A and B are shown apart, each in its own frame.
Chain A
Amino acid sequence: GENVGLHLPTLSVQEGDNSIINCAYSNSASDYFIWYKQESGKGPQFIIDIRSNMDKRQGQRVTVLLNKTVKHLSLQIAATQPGDSAVYFCAENNNAGNMLTFGGGTRLMVKP
């Protein structure tokens, strides 16, 4: 079936550098996307969302880009900090239901 997936399972960056985490989705009916951060032993924490009528949305130190042509979603984290180390999931939601469909996750490791 259609699902959400990620390109890179692990990303290692230097503290202070920018991080880019990518996600590919295949469900063309998806109209809402969310990025979650999950630290070890904790539940997913909302970071930022974007609707399909937008191609970019910015938050505090984070930017989400949506390319509907190639069905690609990315999360950019500026000036990455040690506290950003976690697993990041993209998730989709569409008007066919209220469930979130999660990708497999990318582990971000920040080197001091």
Chain B
Amino acid sequence: NAGVMQNPRHLVRRRGQEARLRCSPMKGHSHVYWYRQLPEEGLKFMVYLQKENIIDESGMPKERFSAEFPKEGPSILRIQQVVRGDSAAYFCASSPFRSSRLDHNEQFFGPGTRLTVL
């Protein structure tokens, strides 16, 4: 089974451009999570999506950032008008179902997209 796939693996943008990061979850998984990681730091939650729905976007900046997970196709994290501070590794994870108090489930991570803003 293919794992979580992310592309591109590396993305270079100039300030003011748009960045689009794609994530294809594992087969059979309908829950997608996006995290951001700065060098030498832990991952920070950004957004949690199910097919066609944003469930929790509490970790995502209110401006310039958006995410979607359409009925068909990969999940997209979109960053408009990028700034140097957006340079980071962006990881996507997927899980087969939603965690509950009785049944936590593992999140499987992709290899990440490393965004560099010049």
Give A contacts to B, CB under 8 Å: 4, 31-32, 34, 36, 41-46, 49, 51, 89, 91, 93, 95, 97-105
Contacts and interface: CB of A to CB of B under 8 A. Distances in A.
B101 A102 contact: no
B112 A105 contact: no
B99 interface: yes
Contact of B48 (A41, A44, A98, A101): A98
> Which bracket fits the contact residues of B?
20 to 34
Given A95-B101, A99-B56, A105 B40 contact: yes
A93 B106 CA distance: 10
A104 B41 CA distance: 5
6 contacts: A97-B48, A98-B31, A98-B55, A99-B48, A100-B93, A103-B42
Nearest to A95: B101
B115 to A, nearest CB: 14
